[in-house]
Chains A and B, each alone.
Chain A
Amino acid sequence: MNSAGSLPENIYPDSGTIANMTASRSVWLALVVLIALDLIVPWGIIGGQATFAGPFLFWVIWTACAIVGMFLVFARWRE
């Protein structure tokens, strides 16, 4: 009961909202991991590999993964 004596409004988010918040946090986390990999792998691990199998291939695969990730997220959007 609140001070006016009536029942409080529902202050808890529904399960759909909670699921969206969790998904949102997961996607933000995925973005942070992607950015970290973008810097760590080329400059810290394979930067000196002077072939197309080095940073070139890494960035192509990294981007493909990011694009697939984005498709997975926005495929769930609905009208």
Chain B
Amino acid sequence: MPVPEPLVAWRAIAEPAALDAATWPSEAVVLRIAPDEVLVIGEPGFDIGDPYAIVEPEDGFCAVTMDRARLEAWLARTAEWTLPKGDRYFAQGSAAGLPVKVWVEGDRGLLITRASLAHDLEERL
């Protein structure tokens, strides 16, 4: 069974328009988890044009990297929502009773939840 690992990330909260216009490192995975919030997986080095933006290193998530087919099969079984279509997508909601975020690109998928729920995720995978 895959084991959740701490996710090295940054989180930023800013004006939605500023996030829309922000530039991000090309190698970073930028997940727009709310209109005014992004979770950036990777190193910092982004510029948000909001002088009051809150940008903090984020230790509060863990993640499991897994084969896309396996991830989608697990989500299809445990989530009450329909997965987006396409080669690359981000989705979030409840699966197996846990709040999860899903990042899929190509044949790989990333399943993210709160670090405080890593034990529950491992049990429910």
Whether A and B are associated in the same complex: the answer reads no
